[in-house]
Amino acid sequence: MEFFLEQVINGIQLGLVYALIALGYTMVYGIVKLINFAHGDVFMVGAFVGYFGFTYWGLPWPLAIIVAMVFCAILGMVIERIAYRPLRYAPRMIALISAIGVSFFLEYFCSLKFMFGPNYRVVQRPLPEISWQIGGVTITNIQLLILVTVICMLILLLWIVHRTKIGAAMRTVSFDHDAARLMGVNVDRTISFTFALGSAMAAMGGVLYAIAYPQIQPFMGIMPGLKAFTAAVLGGIGLIPGAVLGALIMGQVETMTVAFISSQLRDAIAFAILIIVLLFKPTGILGRTETEKV
């Protein structure tokens, strides 16, 4: 029983990291209906910037996280301005191909020796790992750090979206760009802010991932990015609660698969879930089917 509960906690830890990535997917999709496949690579860049911050630049790890978030927020805005804005009203397939191109560019550019280099790097944790035994279940300070951080970020995100002027602009733009312009909303600025916010959260997820699973490399964003996308679809892409719910389910499924079935099957089962969801409930668990007027 204790082993099962420990796996549940490990699944929550993994799911919360996925949630930080999935939130970026879902916000961008909600605003511009774009699946930003480069988002997983922004997660990777955030992990490296945070790693350099607390390993080489001598920054305290909280400050390293903030630096990574700021860097990736700017990176997200640059990507949106250069690669996505000129294609905003082009067919969605073209924008999707552009997103895939940005993803490959980031992966291979960051693999160059004058950037991050192609090799794996072992991350020396910036804080010692402390474990507690509670009812026979082991809980670490790293797990608590991830839990508290993600909850705080989720509360902050919900406050921004529902209680601020820019959040109101985001919700308006998500309904109709032209109507938002007529209401005086700066659509370009709102979309840029959305990319910055999503990228900053991905960066935080990257740094936390590097601390929890202390090994990073330039292609590390591919699989977490795809699984976070699956989580966003599972919960209902475009919905913030859906992204978190889907991510927690994905974390549990992956962890339980490794613990009780086979580690080789964890990715296969994760993407089988994506196929099943798309077949039987394309709008996701919390999504609703919208009728299209003609």
81: tokens are 């301005």
Residue 6 maps to a domain = no
- pLDDT tens digit string along 262-282? 888 888 888 888 888 888 888
Position 16 scores a pLDDT of 86
Share of the chain residues as helix, strand and coil, in percent rounded to the nearest 5: 70, 5, 25
Residue 10 maps to a domain = no
Domain count, the chain: 2
Is 259 in the same domain as 182?
Answer: no
pTM, two decimals, is 0.89
CA dist list (Å): 45 to 13, 22, 76, 258: 21, 16, 11, 27
Please tell me the distance from the alpha carbon of residue 31 to that of residue 26, in angstroms, as a whole number: 9
> Where in the sequence is the domain holding 260, given as residue range(s)?
222-287
51: tokens are 């790693």
Query: How far is Cα of residue 108 from the mean position of the Cα atoms in its chain?
Result: 20
Is 197 in the same domain as 253?
Answer: no
Is 76 in the same domain as 159?
Answer: yes
Position 293 scores a pLDDT of 46
Name the residue with tokens 């390993």. Answer: 55
Would you say residue 191 has pLDDT above 70? Answer: yes
| Mean residue pLDDT across the chain | 87
Is 262 in the same domain as 178?
Answer: no
Position 289 scores a pLDDT of 62
**Collapsed DSSP state (helix, strand, coil) of residue 215:** strand
**Collapsed DSSP state (helix, strand, coil) of residue 37:** coil
Instruction: Taking residues 107-114, report their average pLDDT.
Output: 92
Position 280 scores a pLDDT of 85
Position 292 scores a pLDDT of 47
| Domain finish residue from 198, 219, 240 | 219
- pLDDT tens digit string along 123-174? 888 888 888 888 778 888 888 988 898 889 889 988 998 899 998 998 888 8
